[in-house]
Structure 1
């Protein structure tokens, strides 16, 4: 009796497992729901979706939604997009939103945008409701040297045809910032920019900055302009300081040259004096030699002594204060 109960329990367990497995691979409830919703999906197609690891519920529910919205899609299209790594419900929502807004968007375009990593539903929403992008503060200098700091608001909407391969918001911000710098830099005075900030908007908008991007620029509005530093005056001060340092360096160079020349002249003068002293030291020796050799006599020697004494006396009378005469350069 116990054996019979165990066998019966095993058989019941196997039957339950078999039913669960059959229900999993053959989603009859989902097939019935699709039939009553007007969607033609074969029961074997649902089984093959399970085998290919494609969730039948996502495909069927997306088909029901698209069919009710009047879109002509097939389960093969949705299954292919899912296997490619796409987000099927997002694509269906985007197609329905674009259809209601009279925006031309095909399934291939929506699938390509989704596979490119962009949120296709948000892109369609941005086409209907344009987005405002605030630029960071952009600093530029007018021709009078005054710095201006501007902030702009860029109103854009998604360009469906350029979403695949088009540049993003960073490119828009960079181009708008470059246009603001160019516009302010070409102004004669910062006052002209402050009086007519719309000139910046018109100039930047006329450059076609949305070319090659995933957006279409609708307007560029200058939100705020602040006056910054007087860059021109600062540059002039820096230039004057640099010129002063150059002049001081040149003056120091000339002073050093003058000191070197003076030292050289003193060295030459000392060398000349040394030669004179050396020559004078040889005079007594020469006189002694002349006396020994009999070339001069004692009387001649005394005459030379008297002549030297007379010369020194005349110099003393001519210069009683003892002021030294400047020496002539040798």
Structure 2
């Protein structure tokens, strides 16, 4: 009797474990939900998903949602997108939103947008409800040198056909900023910009700034416009200061060259004086040698001395009669 009870308990445990493994591996409840929702799918297909390491609920639940919304999607499409690393639920939600808004969005394009890293559901919502992008403060200078600071609001709508490979919001902001700088810079005066701010919007909008982007620009509105610094006067002041420094540097260079030349002349004078002193020191020796050799007589020597004395006397008299020397002595 005891052996029979043990056998019964053992058999019951095996059955329970087998049923648990079966219901864990085979999503019966999910299959029942799909059948009840009108989605025709077999148990074998669900088991095959398990074998391919695909979570059946990630495929079946979006398929049920799409079927209820009136979309014609196959389980192979959803499973292939899941295996490619896409977000199946987000793609299905985007397709439903596009279908409700009467926007043409095939599954292949939605899957491509999702795999490209963009939020396809947000793109569909932006196509229905345009988004406003506010630019940072754009500083531009008019021809009169006055700085003008502008803040613009750009209303954009997602262009689903250009979402894959199209530029983002940063490109839109950069192009609008460039257009503002060009428009203000071409104005003859900052007063013209303040009087007609809509000129900026019209000019920038006509440039086709949304080319090659994932958006379509609907309008560009000037949110704020203000006056900044007098850039022209500032630049002129900086230029004058730079010219002053250049002139000072050139003057210093000329002064240094003059000092160098003066020092060089002084060195040459000192050198010439040294040579004269050296030559004068050799005169007595030459005269003595001439006297010994008989080339110079005593009378010649006496005449030379008389000439030197006469020359010194004339020089002394000339200094006494020179009024400039007298003024120097008086001073």
Common fold by TM > 0.5: yes
| 1:127 to partner: Cα distance | 0.6
1:56 to 2:19 alignment? no
Q: 1:316 to 1:3 in 2, by over 3 A?
A: same
Instruction: Specify every segment of 5 or more residues in structure 1 that has no aligned partner in the other structure, as ranges.
Output: 326-330
For residues 157-236 of structure 1, the aligned pairs below 5 Å read: 157-236=157-236
Question: For the structure 1 residues 254 and 11, does the alpha-carbon distance in structure 2 shift closer, same or farther, using more than 3 Å as the test?
Answer: same
More deviation, 48-57/90-99? 48-57
Aligned-pair CA distance for 1:171: 2.0
DSSP-derived class of the 1:320 partner: helix
Structural RMSD (CA): 3.0
Moved more, 117-126 or 233-242: 233-242
Cα offset for 1:105? 1.1
Which moves more between the two structures, 269-278 or 221-230?
A: 269-278
* 2:262 alignment partner in structure 1: 262
Question: Which residue of 2 is the match for residue 243 of structure 1?
Answer: 243
SS of the equivalent of 2:213 reads: coil
SS in 1 for 2:154: strand
Work out the CA distance in 1 between the residues paired with 2:214 and 2:309: 113
Taking the TM superposition and a 5 Å limit, the aligned residue runs for 1:1-330 are 1-281=1-281, 284=284, 293=294, 295-297=296-298, 305=305, 308-320=308-320
Q: C-alpha displacement at 1:126, in angstroms?
A: 0.7
TM-score, normalising length from structure 1? 0.84
Greater shift after overlay, 51-60 or 196-205? 51-60
Secondary structure at 1:103's aligned position in 2? Answer: coil
Q: List alignment gaps of at least 5 residues for structure 2.
A: 327-331
> What is the CA–CA distance in structure 2 between the aligned matches of 1:285 and 1:84, rounded to whole Å?
115
> Per the alignment, in what secondary structure is the counterpart of residue 210 of structure 1?
coil
Shift of 1:17: 1.9
CA contact (8 A) 2:167 2:212 kept: yes
Size of the alignment, in residue pairs?
324
Residues 1:286 and 1:50: Cα distance change in structure 2 (over 3 Å):
closer
In 1, Cα distance between equivalents of 2:61 and 2:279 = 127
Distance 1:290 1:19 in 2: 147
CA distance in structure 2 between the aligned counterparts of 1:318 and 1:281, rounded to whole angstroms: 27
Offset of residue 79 of structure 1:
2.5
Q: CA deviation at 1:250?
A: 2.2
Query: Who is 2:329 aligned against?
Result: none
Aligned partner of residue 154 in structure 1, secondary structure: strand
Q: Over residues 207-240 of structure 1, what are the superposed CA-to-partner deviations in whole Å (9 max), with x where a residue is unaligned?
A: 2221122111111222223333333323222222
SS at match of 1:85: coil
CA distance in 1, matches of 2:47, 2:314: 143
